[in-house]
Amino acid sequence: MAPTSNNHVHPEGKLLALDVGLARIGVAVCDPLQLAARPLTVIHRRSRNEDFAALAKLVQREAAQAVICGLPLNMDGSEGARAQSIRKWAMRLAHALRALLGAPLPVIFWDERLSTYAAQAILAERRDAVAEDAAAAAVILQSYLDRRTAAEVMDYGRIDLAPRAR
What is the torsion angle, in degrees rounded to the nearest 10, for the CA atoms of residue 33, residue 52, residue 87 and residue 71?
Answer: 50
How far, in Å, CA of 86 to CA of 12, rounded? 24
Q: Determine the distance from the C-alpha atom of residue 87 to the mean position of all C-alpha atoms in its chain, rounded to a whole number.
A: 11
The helix, strand and coil proportions of the chain, stated in percent and rounded to the nearest 5, come to 40, 25, 40
> What's the chain's Rg over C-alpha atoms?
15
User: Nearest-CA neighbor of 67 among 153, 158, 164, 163?
Assistant: 158
pLDDT for res 28: 95
Q: Domain extents for the chain?
A: 11-159
Strands 66-71 and 107-111: parallel
Q: pLDDT tens string for the chain (166 positions)? A: 444 444 456 789 999 999 999 999 999 999 999 999 999 999 999 999 999 999 999 999 999 999 999 998 887 888 899 999 999 999 999 999 999 999 999 999 988 875 554 545 555 555 555 567 788 888 888 888 887 766 455 677 788 888 877 6
pLDDT for res 79: 87
Taking domain 11-159, whether its CATH number is 3.30.420.140 is answered by yes
